[in-house]
Amino acid sequence: MGRTKTINITPELLDKAAENMKAKAIEVRGATLKDLFCNYSYNHKLAPGTVNTVSTKSQVPVHDDLKAAFRKLDAHLAVICEEIPADAISNMDDLLPYDEDVHATGSIEHKVSMFTVNSFRLEGDSDNQSVILVGEKQLTTGDFVKLETPKTHLDSSYPFAHELNIALIDLVGEVEEYMQGKQAPPVQQELFAGEDDYAEADR
C-alpha cells in the first residue's frame, strides 16, 4: 500500500490560499453597449501585484437584463451633467421608464428618456472608486449630442451617490453574467416561441 502524506493546515497556508483566490479574481472595469453587443474590460489578478487589463469585443447578443441595467444610469447622466436639476427628482428609485400613454410631455420621466448611457468606466480602487458615464442626449430636432460626465467619486457629495452605487453594482453583476454566457435568446428560439404562441391562440 502507498504511504499517506499528511498536510497540516496552518493559518499561514490558509492565508496563502486566500491570496491565491484573490489573485484569480476578475474585476470588471467598464463596458460599452454597441448595437446588439457589449464590449467590456476587466482586471485579471494573476498574483499579488500582478494584474492584466483585458479588453474584449464580444459578438454575443446582450440579454435584456443587461440593457435594463444600463438604463438605470440614464438619469444619473442627466443630473451629473447638470441637464436636469437634482431637486427635480424626488426619489431616483421611483422613476419609471417613460410611457407616452402614461407620462405627460415635459414630465421628469419624459425628460430622462432623452438621455441614454451606453458606456461606463470605473477608476481607482475599492477605497477610492469613481465612475465616468458616457452617453448621449436626444435634442428636439431629433439629433443627438454626446455627453460624458466628469469623474464622479462614489462617496462624493453627489445627492444620488447611494443610488448610483447600487445601479453600478447591478450593472457590473450583469456584465459578469454576460461574460459567463448570459445572452439574448437565439433568434431561432424566439421564432419558435412565437409559433407556440400562435398555436396556443388557435386552440
pLDDT tens across 12-34, in order?
Answer: 655 554 444 444 478 999 999 99
Q: How confident is the model at residue 202 (pLDDT cuts 50, 70, 90)?
A: low
The burial of 100, by beta-carbon neighbours within 10 Å (0-12 exposed, 13-18 middle, 19 or more buried), is given as exposed
The confidence score (pLDDT) of residue 162 equals 93
How far apart (Å, rounded) are the C-alpha atoms in residues 65 and 29? Answer: 19
The burial of 109, by beta-carbon neighbours within 10 Å (0-12 exposed, 13-18 middle, 19 or more buried), is given as middle
pTM score of the predicted model: 0.78
Q: Long-range contacts of range 135-140, CB-CB < 8 Å, 24 or more positions apart?
A: 135/73, 135/74, 135/77, 137/78, 137/83, 138/114
How far apart (Å, rounded) are the C-alpha atoms in residues 28 and 173? Answer: 9
Q: What are phi and psi of 118, to 5 degrees?
A: -120, 0
The confidence score (pLDDT) of residue 37 equals 96
Give the bridge partners for 133, in sequence order: 120
> What number of CA atoms fall less than 13 Å from residue 101's CA on the CB side?
0
The confidence score (pLDDT) of residue 51 equals 81
How far apart (Å, rounded) are the C-alpha atoms in residues 88 and 172? Answer: 27
Q: What is the pLDDT of residues 81-124, one digit of tens each?
A: 999 999 999 899 889 999 999 999 999 999 999 999 999 999 98
The confidence score (pLDDT) of residue 24 equals 44
Helix/strand/coil for 104: coil
Q: How confident is the model at residue 189 (pLDDT cuts 50, 70, 90)?
A: very low
The confidence score (pLDDT) of residue 146 equals 98
